[in-house]
Amino acid sequence: MKTIDELLAEGVAGKRVFVRADLNVPLDGTTITDDGRIRAVVPTVARLAEAGARVVVASHLGRPKGAPDPAFSLAPAAARLGELLGADVAFATDTVGESARATVAALTDGQVAVVENLRFNAGETSKDDAERGAFADQLAQLADVYVGDGFGAVHRKHASVYDLPARLPHAAGYLIATEVGVLKKLTEDVARPYAVVLGGAKVSDKLGVIDHLLEKADRILIGGGMAYTFLKAQGHEVGISLLQEDQVPAVQGYLKRAEELGVEFVLPVDVLVAGEFPDLKTKAPAHPATVAADAIPADQEGLDIGPETCALYASKLADAATVFWNGPMGVFEHPDYAGGTRAVAQALAGSEAFSVVGGGDSAAAVRILGFDENAFGHISTGGGASLEYLEGKTLPGLAALED
């Protein structure tokens, strides 16, 4: 995989460099609530600009239906990128149309532009190779060189991620190089003990990574909504908690396999419950009750791990040399159910372990709960990409950069 430093050594002054970034940030209207993904691509964009490239930044945001939708415009992200770079960033109001062509043509050496949301074009996400390729052809007309730096999208076989690199000289940006290097530390010559913390809503999203990590991890800690499928698999009542009944047999199989392999599976011993889901907009007091994990009332929903579990999980992480964490322990967006996620974050922040926060809601939680990002070994920008890498899958966006 060619690095950006090799590309810079060849010279990029005067060249149009297409940077496939991941600016898929959460928005409240037009206000960015977490700019972590924008900050992550700044080193690549800044270095290219300093070297005299004419930088064209492109990304997706949200899930528009292959047509322009103002709710998913990249304009706020472009403005924030300009603030972080300390320079004006031009913005094209389309992706490959008249505005994009004119905006790119107007760039001078060292200037940066952002084109509109790639997913406003149906060809970006099309499953039809010809349609996707046709869109990649249009994108290729905007640039001389391609730099892949949108790690959060490398598990997608999309035009700007997979097809475009085949049409241009290409290299990996600093973010992708860092992310891949970190993930190799979680899969090759891992420092032990190796603990994995998995949370989030759906156990089905994590079965692949559990399957793969059973051969590598020393212990796996489970929280979040997915914990209730594990508790159900042990024969416990879970009330009206989030449950994937169809996954119970698979979970039972993993629990048995873990026992055979000597991998410690750690499940909640107590949980916070309530009769209804909390109001996340007003943050009205929820008045949760703490119950044993094997005694959840039939009319109650588990919404966070309890204090005993917080202490248990902290103790299980205390001696770890390597930790991978993906997924919150509860509904962390509400202060009454943020305790479990905060406890895991605190345990890692105060640890000597090489700790990796695996993107998505986990990364957002670290920032929302006010932790210093430098207290962790690495905070990934790509939850889904990280998980698929750890599952042992070939990621299309990385494969496209390797030839």
Where in the sequence numbering do the catalytic residues fall? 37, 202, 360, 384
319 annotated ligand binder? no
22 annotated ligand binder? yes
119 annotated ligand binder? yes
37 annotated ligand binder? yes
264 annotated ligand binder? no
Interatomic CA distance for residues 348 and 403, integer angstroms: 37
Phi then psi for residue 174, to 5 deg, are -60, -40
Signed CA dihedral, 290, 366, 184, 20: sign only: positive
287 annotated ligand binder? no
Phi then psi for residue 148, to 5 deg, are -85, 120
Interatomic CA distance for residues 303 and 282, integer angstroms: 17
Q: Is 403 exposed, middle or buried (0-12, 13-18, 19+ CB in 10 A)?
A: exposed
**Residue 201 · residue 226 · CB < 8 Å:** yes
Listed in sequence order, the DSSP H helices in 155-294 are 174-185, 207-213, 227-233, 248-261
24 annotated ligand binder? yes
Helix (H, G, I), strand (E, B) or coil at 220: strand
360 annotated ligand binder? yes
> Which of 388, 330, 392 minimizes the C-alpha distance to 361?
330
223 annotated ligand binder? no
206 annotated ligand binder? yes
315 annotated ligand binder? no
Query: From the annotation, which residues make up the binding site for substrate?
Result: 22-24, 37, 60-63, 119, 156
Query: From the annotation, which residues make up the binding site?
Result: 22-24, 37, 60-63, 119, 156, 206, 302, 333, 359-362
Query: From the annotation, which residues make up the binding site for (2R)-3-phosphoglycerate?
Result: 37, 119, 156
Query: From the annotation, which residues make up the binding site for ATP?
Result: 206, 302, 333, 359-362
